[in-house]
Amino acid sequence: MKKHTIAILLLFLIVAAYGARKALVIGNADYTVAALSNPVNDVMAVEKLLKGLGFETTLRVNLNRRDMEQAIDSFAAFLHPVDEVVFYYSGHGAQVEGSNYLIPVGEVMNSEEDIKYDSVNANKVTDKLSRASVSIVVLDACRNNPFSDARSGSRGLALMRSKGSQFIIYSTADGEIAEDGGPSGLSPFTEAFVRHAGTPELSIDDVMYLVKEDLKRSTNNKQKPYTYNGMEQRYYLARADGSTPKYTSPRPSTYTPPPATQVYTPPPAPNGMVYVGGGSFMMGSNDGDEDEQPVHQVTVSSFWIGKYEVTQAEFSQYMQPGKAWAEDYGIGDNYPAYHVSWYAIIKYCNLRSLTEGLTPVYSIAGSTNPALWGSVPTSDDETWNAVICNWDANGYRLPTEAEWEFAARGGTNNPNYLYSGSDDINAVAWHDNNSSGSSQPVGAKATNGIGIFDMSGNLWEWCWDWYSDAYYSSSTPNNPAGPNVGNYRVLRGGSWSYDATGCRVSCRNYDRASSVDVYFSDFGFRLCRAIK
């Protein structure tokens, strides 16, 4: 074998071993029917962004079917199993018989068959890119079928499943349409994506949360991007130190890849609890009340949380409610416990922890034994307000506000729903328009993405934190537990007596720790436990 052939082979082996960041960006605008104004601007902006993040980019615009097929085939032919790749398409797209097609320019399509055979099947893209270690597929193509004579009456694109370690992004929900023109010369989606995707230390999940928030404002809540996540780990387009990405091509032959990450297996969940794996998320909402702002990144450790709100049967094993449960507001063993003050919950947690052989979390006046605390106060009490939380104890406790919102959003499996588990409030929540004027048995609605019931609606749920309307501006980024002092404790989740606004995962409420008045028949709680 000749020396130059050996050198080329060695270079190929180095590239194959250590990978590269690569991107294929395609924008189609010059359609014979229904020309678009923004795709070329879109892909130029995206290419500039990705180049700045260390990607080797290929930019192609206004391609016919043959050229699109060739561009995709050529790009995929040089991918290696350790590469990180991005495919970004801006242009027309259509669904036919449940499959998605990217529409090339220069074609006249009068039937579904024309779309199927004269366009590029999006599954081809996901199939070919799945050979890479990570692939991000972005389709700003969810516009109406532009070919009026075609028989396909479906709006937007159809549901796609990721293949391998893939993150698929639609510029709007499957079955819906996206907007094209924008005042900046970019589509609303691309403008938002370019604004946030280069932010250091934001995972692609966090980027898409911010993109969704921007689009809600810029499109008057008409366009909501959706994602399909097949990745096993969080992925970052940008790095905090601004350096080149972790995989570059080529690497010196002395480079030793880091050892494979071991998969963490959580311990068995306690009865009636759900494991919430730790991670980061964007807390709050720019579209909510002022106390939900600013949206800020928060990281929480792993924990367990109750699958259901604590029921009347569970509470009555250890405590009596501050006021009798009433038929008017829902009564029965499987109904959630209400008329429970924050003070009473602290006592309940320690009593139950001691009974089950766990280390109590809370101490008052130096003692974890509730028998030494005296009666539960019915008005503000300085001694009980000075309760200390032992975050390392394995007993029962209230979730922090950050833990509550993280769990309500579905942890790291976060599709950015408005309510806990859905954008359809009636699917997951009892609220003022469907509750018949009282609480309902726990677990009657659908769960959120990690198997938790009723985090939106049914009862407002007490959290550990003192309330401050300005706390988000000064919150610590890691395991925040609220201000050190305050006059009120936080409640989250909305209730059977509240409208949809209060049931949003980002909505905040508050009241005094002693509150059990008849007017608070919609205050309850769920339990939490630390994982150590």
The pLDDT tens digits of the residues spanning 183-235 come to: 567 888 899 999 999 888 788 988 998 898 888 888 887 777 888 888 877 88
* DSSP letter for each residue of 483-502: -S--S-EEEES--TTS-GGG
- Same domain? 115 vs 204: yes
- Same domain? 303 vs 184: no
- Same domain? 223 vs 277: no
Phi (first) and psi of residue 188, to 5 degrees? -55, -40
In a domain, 374, yes or no: yes
Sign of CA dihedral 446, 450, 454, 455: negative
| Number of independent structural domains in the chain | 2
Q: Write the CATH number for 122.
A: 3.40.50.1460
Structural tokens at position 271: 């009865």
Tell me the CA end-to-end span of the chain in Å, nearest whole number. Answer: 58
Strands (E) located in 194-295 = 226-229, 273-276, 279-283
In a domain, 313, yes or no: yes
Q: Which residues pair with 363 in a beta bridge?
A: 388
pLDDT of residue 152: 39
In a domain, 340, yes or no: yes
pLDDT of residue 265: 60
Q: Choose one of 229, 263, 293: the last residue of a domain.
A: 229
- Same domain? 183 vs 326: no
Distance CA 311, CA 525 (A): 9
- Same domain? 419 vs 361: yes
- Same domain? 40 vs 167: yes
Q: Choose one of 173, 205, 229: the last residue of a domain.
A: 229
Phi (first) and psi of residue 479, to 5 degrees? 45, 55
Q: How many CB atoms lie within 10 A of CB 375?
A: 7
Q: What is the pLDDT along the chain (532 residues), one digit of tens a residue?
A: 444 443 434 444 433 344 689 999 999 888 887 788 888 889 999 999 999 999 999 999 989 888 899 899 989 988 989 999 999 999 888 877 777 889 998 877 777 778 888 889 988 899 899 889 999 999 988 555 555 444 333 445 655 665 678 999 888 754 445 555 555 678 888 999 999 998 887 889 889 988 988 888 888 877 778 888 888 778 888 864 444 444 333 333 333 434 444 445 666 778 899 999 888 889 999 889 999 999 998 999 999 999 999 999 999 999 999 999 999 999 999 999 999 999 999 999 999 999 999 999 999 999 999 999 999 999 999 999 999 999 999 999 999 999 999 999 998 767 789 999 999 999 999 999 999 999 999 999 999 988 999 999 999 999 999 999 999 999 999 999 999 999 999 999 999 999 999 999 999 999 999 999 877 899 999 999 999 7
Rg, Å, the chain Cα set? 27
Using one digit for the tens of pLDDT, what is the confidence trace for 372-403? Answer: 999 999 999 999 999 999 999 999 999 999 99
- Same domain? 347 vs 432: yes
Q: Order across the sheet with 523-524: list the strands.
A: 508-511, 489-492, 460-466, 523-524
Q: How many CB atoms lie within 10 A of CB 448?
A: 27
In a domain, 13, yes or no: no
- Same domain? 110 vs 223: yes
- Same domain? 204 vs 300: no
Q: Which residues pair with 85 in a beta bridge?
A: 22, 135
Phi (first) and psi of residue 308, to 5 degrees? -125, 160
In a domain, 246, yes or no: no
pLDDT of residue 235: 86
Q: Write the CATH number for 279.
A: 3.90.1580.10
Q: Choose one of 229, 262, 283: the last residue of a domain.
A: 229
- Same domain? 47 vs 146: yes
Range of the domain at 326: 273-530
- Same domain? 278 vs 409: yes
In a domain, 255, yes or no: no
In a domain, 493, yes or no: yes
In a domain, 8, yes or no: no
Cβ neighbours of residue 396 closer than 8 Å, sequence gap 6 or more = 348, 349, 350, 352, 353, 358, 361, 527, 528, 529
Pick the closest to residue 458 from 493, 408, 419, 414 (CA basis).
493
What is the pTM assigned to this prediction? 0.56
- Same domain? 225 vs 281: no
Please report, for residues 58, 253, 309, 335, the alpha-carbon distance to residue 318 in angstroms, rounded to integers and kept in the order given. 66, 66, 16, 16
